[in-house]
A = this chain, B = another copy of it.
Amino acid sequence: MEKIKLVVEGKELEVPKGTTLGEVFKELGIKDAVGALLEGELVDLQTPLRRGGKVKPLFRGDEEALPIMRHSLAHVMAQALKELYGPAKVRLGVGPDTEEGFFYDVEVEGRTITEEELKKIEEKMREIVKRDYPIVRKELTREEAKELFKKLGERYKLELIDEIPEGEPVSVYEQGGFVDLCKGPHLPSTGKAGAFKLTAVSGAYWKGDASGPQLTRIYGMAYWDEEKLNERLKFYEEVKRRDHRRLGKELEFFTIENEVGPGLVLWLPRGALYRKVLEDYLREEHLKRGYQLAYTPHVGRAELWKRSGHLEHYKENMFPPMQLDEEEYYVKPMNCPFHITIYKTRPRSYRELPFKLFELGTVYRYELSGVLHGLLRVRGFTQDDAHIVCTPEQVNDVIRETLEFALQVLRDFGFEEFKLYLSTRPEDAIGSDEQWELSQKALEEAVKASGYEYEVDEGGGAFYGPKIDVKVKDAIGRLWQLSTIQFDFNLPERFDMTYVGPDNKLHRPYMIHRALLGSIERFTGILLEHHAGLLPFWLSPTQVAVLPVADRHHDYARRLAELLTAEGFRAEADLSGERLGAKIRKAELTKVPVVLVVGDREQESGTVSVRTKKEGSLGSMSLEELIKYLNELQRSRR
């Protein structure tokens, strides 16, 4: 019999090929292992060994063994479903482990599994874990397997058997009478499972095909210990609480309606007012820094997209063409060709450079409807897009200023932690060595000068130029990519962009694409989640709500709101005549940052009683104090 060599915890040994690690560990007196790494690959104790190598036994609590445990819990869940709803009623799809747990796609005849049933399924799973069934692996011939799953009525499994490549073993795992087609690896027994919780149900198409049958996906989360599990569950509760789709509805910021089209955002009045404040801010900040403005159309002739190369390289991301006057037109996926056209309306002198053109440009890109997600992934969005055209001598200053600008803007929105990523020249790049060196040096110096943590992705740049990406860390530790500063050595060639140098000759300029927020839609989604809907004072659609205690305080409340409006704040008096409690709740729900309650005392003394969402009650203030306080909030962008 053929032998293989193993090295287990430093000990060398030879065993017959086909021995399992369970047998080996027993021989060596290694107890309670739940799996192992064989030359770095995760394996279980039940599978006959086909090759030798270094073996590291894994035990409960080992991070590396989590996938095994999670995968076994998927089986435990499947078994629980069969016990609850009857084995003949439950048909199984696929049930893998995931980053933090597992899921199983299932079909339960005659019913839809709802969130309410998860508790019950979970209880049944705990029972099965407690029963501590050994998990047994068996290899079958294809015919045996087919016969087995046919008998079980598992039509999805039959499809999967057909997909197992010729020559690979067909294995099943059995536990307490429940058998599942599976490659493994699995725990030695159900009792070895860790802490878990079922978290959600959703629809899932069989094999992701929307025209095929729809199954129910049941999600679970699993860690070795309760503490870690609870910490992660709390994180996801927090993620849910901050979900911008819910907040966007509550705050009346935006809506996406099927009749209009998936991924197409309608900004509701409060969201639109916030967006106006944001856009005003962006335009002013750009003008201050010497940018010029542009407005360009949302459609353009195919000609333009042919020249830019988008039709060649980017067509699948574009909306389909419109046939007009025997020509094709496209809605724009990018603003670049328009900005370049503006640059080219007349010859440019080096004295005009750097030429910095800014547009809040609304673009449309095709995304599969399945990946659309609130504001975070949409089909139409507005970029805070600029193109900078400059001489080689200006590249350093331009990049440093641009990165500083990006970081300043992100800080103004309340982000404090940043991580920068520098992507450099890939294998099959265009552009000269000189261009790449000059650009990469400028990017690297700017990144270093910023003082923030950064990573270099060597060779990770686009074929047409290197870039910096800025990621922000949000209030619950998630990283989001926002700003990009991207060199482009391609479009200046394609569009034959030039400038007249001091030598009176034509030169090719450097061009940089950059967006600071990326898209207003996506940024707003992230901002809402970061602040859990409580936007900084300067960005809130309503900044101050004036709530009269009773009808007799309406005049005073209205006058206050008018006074604050005249001072430049967005203030509203609630004259609805509802009870004070209801008015306060409404202001709470729409997350108005500053609430002024005015009753007899305030009216008589000409004061206000101030409550803020962030700092709670600030007591009584005179109008002068109030205005000073509000101006300070506005100025500090808190």
Point out residues on A near B: beta carbons under 8 Å.
252, 255, 257, 259-261, 264-269, 272-273, 275-276, 280, 283, 287, 292-301, 303-304, 307, 319-325, 329, 331, 338, 341-342, 345, 351, 357, 359, 362, 364, 366, 369, 380, 576
Q: Are B266 and A297 in contact, CB atoms less than 8 angstroms apart?
A: yes
Please give me the residue from chain B that is nearest to A298 by CB atom.
B298
Besides the contacts A260-B304, A265-B295, A273-B293, what 19 more A-B pairs have beta carbons closer than 8 Å? Answer: A252-B345, A255-B345, A257-B345, A260-B300, A261-B301, A264-B299, A265-B297, A266-B338, A267-B293, A267-B296, A268-B345, A272-B292, A272-B359, A299-B364, A322-B322, A322-B331, A324-B366, A325-B369, A331-B331
CB distance from A371 to the nearest CB of B (A): 13
Q: A267-B295, A331-B331 are in contact. Are A301 and B576 (CB under 8 A)?
A: no
CB distance from A358 to the nearest CB of B (A): 9
Partner of A329, one of B269, B299, B319, B357: B319
B residues in contact with A283, CB < 8 Å:
276
Please give me the residue from chain B that is nearest to A565 by CB atom.
B288
Partner of A259, one of B269, B307, B321: B307
Partner of A260, one of B259, B294, B341, B351: B341
Q: Are B280 and A267 in contact, CB atoms less than 8 angstroms apart?
A: no
CB distance from A603 to the nearest CB of B (A): 24
* Bound CA–CA A357/B18 (angstroms): 75
Q: Are A364 and B269 in contact, CB atoms less than 8 angstroms apart?
A: no
Please give me the residue from chain B that is nearest to A269 by CB atom.
B292
Q: Are B259 and A304 in contact, CB atoms less than 8 angstroms apart?
A: yes
B residues in contact with A324, CB < 8 Å:
319-320, 366
Copies of this chain, count: 2
Partner of A319, one of B255, B261, B267, B322: B322
Contact sample, A vs B, 12 pairs, CB 8 Å cutoff = A255-B345, A259-B341, A260-B338, A261-B299, A261-B300, A261-B301, A266-B342, A272-B292, A275-B295, A280-B280, A298-B298, A322-B322
B residues in contact with A259, CB < 8 Å:
301, 303-304, 307, 341
Q: A283-B276, A322-B322, A324-B320 are in contact. Are A266 and B296 (CB under 8 A)?
A: yes
Please give me the residue from chain B that is nearest to A323 by CB atom.
B320
Q: Are B380 and A297 in contact, CB atoms less than 8 angstroms apart?
A: yes
Q: Are A322 and B325 in contact, CB atoms less than 8 angstroms apart?
A: no
B residues in contact with A307, CB < 8 Å:
259
Q: A293-B269, A322-B320, A338-B266 are in contact. Are A298 and B257 (CB under 8 A)?
A: no
Q: Which of A259, A265, A364 has the most CB of B within 10 A?
A: A259
When A and B form their complex, which 3 residue pairs have the shortest distance between CB atoms, in order from nearest?
A269-B292, A272-B293, A267-B295
B residues in contact with A362, CB < 8 Å:
298
* Bound CA–CA A268/B296 (angstroms): 9
B residues in contact with A265, CB < 8 Å:
295, 297
Please give me the residue from chain B that is nearest to A267 by CB atom.
B295
Q: Are B341 and A298 in contact, CB atoms less than 8 angstroms apart?
A: no
B residues in contact with A301, CB < 8 Å:
259-261
* Bound CA–CA A275/B272 (angstroms): 19
B residues in contact with A292, CB < 8 Å:
269, 272-273
CB distance from A318 to the nearest CB of B (A): 10
B residues in contact with A297, CB < 8 Å:
260-261, 264-266, 380
CB distance from A342 to the nearest CB of B (A): 6
Q: Are B276 and A293 in contact, CB atoms less than 8 angstroms apart?
A: yes
Q: Are A294 and B280 in contact, CB atoms less than 8 angstroms apart?
A: no
Please give me the residue from chain B that is nearest to A318 by CB atom.
B322
B residues in contact with A380, CB < 8 Å:
297-299
CB distance from A307 to the nearest CB of B (A): 7
B residues in contact with A329, CB < 8 Å:
261, 319
